[in-house]
Amino acid sequence: MSPYAKLTTLLLALSALAMVSCQTDRAGRAAQGEAMEMSDGFSYVMNRDWVLSEIRTAAETVTLDRHELAERFFGSIFTMRFDGALVSGTAVPNTYRGPYALEEDRAITIGPLITTRMAASAQPDELTEHAFINYLYNVFMWDLAGGNLELHTTAEDGAETILVFVSP
């Protein structure tokens, strides 16, 4: 084998080794990134669609049956999405959008919100649009539990309430 052929073979082997190494490193960083995303918190929440599944108070837990809501034409209500510095979603039937601010120790504030002004012909028994928007204005802390987003807020009577959102 000529010296030129040996050099070409060596360079090809080194190139192949470098590509395998990069792919392995990229896969490792992706897995590590997913783990970091879960542990560092709010980056896991960002750029995902969330739907309200439970409203918890000290006295009771109200579960929103999404299948039943869809049958009653309430399938895409009480949704939320955090994009950049804005939160947006759908209540009943109006959409909302506004800023949010994160602070230390999982503190969060939401609002002021702008909403469309459509009249609802009906609202689900479990939660009214007015109550949902008020909950959002009173959110003071966020948390992640089992992959779900929990927003800690207060009801109009001052009772602490947890809104549990799932990512469909």
pLDDT in tens, 100-144: 999 999 999 999 999 998 887 777 778 899 999 999 999 999 999
Q: Using the predicted structure, report yes or no on whether residue 24 has a pLDDT greater than 60.
A: no
Q: Which long-range contacts (CB under 8 A, 24 or more apart) does 112-117 make?
A: 113/137, 115/91
CATH T-level assignment (fold) for domain 42-166: Lipocalin (2.40.128)
Contact in structure between 62 and 54 (CB atoms under 8 Å): yes
Judged by DSSP in three states, 23 sits in: helix
- For the chain, the structural domain boundaries read 1-40, 42-166
- State mean pLDDT over 63-72: 77
Beta strands 95-102 and 86-90, pairing class: antiparallel
pLDDT in tens, 27-65: 443 333 333 333 358 999 999 999 999 999 999 999 888
Position 97 confidence tier, pLDDT thresholds 50, 70, 90: very high
- Let me know the angle formed at the C-alpha of 10 by 5 and 12, rounded to the nearest 5 degrees: 95
Contact in structure between 107 and 97 (CB atoms under 8 Å): no
- State mean pLDDT over 145-163: 94
> Nearest 10 degrees: CA dihedral of 36, 41, 47, 52?
140
Q: Using the predicted structure, report yes or no on whether residue 98 has a pLDDT greater than 90.
A: yes
Phi, psi dihedral angles at 41 (to 5 degrees): 100, -105
Instruction: Please give the pLDDT value at position 92.
Output: 87
Instruction: Please give the pLDDT value at position 42.
Output: 92
Name the residue with higher pLDDT: 24 or 129.
129
